[in-house]
Amino acid sequence: MSEECAARASRTPFGRRLADAMAAAGPLCLGVDPHPVLLRAWGLPDTAAGLESFSLTALEAAAGGECPRVAALKPQVALYERHGSAGFAALERLLSEARAAGVLTIADAKRGDIGSTMAGYAAAWLEDASPLAADAVTLSPYLGFGTLTAAAETAHAAGRGVFVLALTSNPEGRDVQHVGAGEEGGAVARRITEAAAELNARLAAPGEWGPVGLVVGATVAEEAARLGMRLEDVGGPLLAPGFGAQGATAAGMRAGFGPAWPQVLATSSRGILAAGPTLAGLIASLEQSRADLGG
């Protein structure tokens, strides 16, 4: 894809681009997580060069031929960041090559802050001039959802999106996300869901997903209804990590997400990447995951 075409594509609303990608490739997101154990299994050094080789091989498998085999790639930023500037350079290369291949990217950075600091994060991950610009970035709302509004608006203006942590599968998440359940106003997770829905209603075109998605763990999706989270009303996509190696199945996710299932982008990382380092092994694993999801 030429730079001109890529720039034009990036101005199309993110919600529309992701919905189109999911319709074409199925609701699968490949998490690109270059853990040291996976690098060793692939026979790669735990260096920035090893990360880059790992990442570009994963992209080659995901990009497919004429059409990508996945709706999106989700690189885990922390696993690049630990190698400093050279690690970030490897991530920049992956983001650039994915953009050229027409594969959407979600930078799993989990950023969240206030004022000018949050604006700096938004510029880094969501503005065209940044070499780290992805199609979307994950954000943490626990300094208050309102601190993320400007970032969501920045994303929307650039044809990009954000995914806000709402209901995560780690046991510690309950200490924050479930607080308020059964009380007036509801649980924190419910209030995040409602705030995302309000922001999407303001920013999105009628009948389209807005720029604000939520992160809802695939293995805890059934808790959303108990917490009063009307995920089907968010007006945006739902990023669901945990499919595959972490135990979530397609059938379990369909049941857990219920009427919100059409919005779900299921993420698998280790479950697919363990089939490497051969391209044929990765492609076979990707295709099996797609088939399991009905994509």
Q: Which residues are catalytic?
A: 110
> Which residue in 64, 35, 15 sits closest to 282, CA to CA?
64
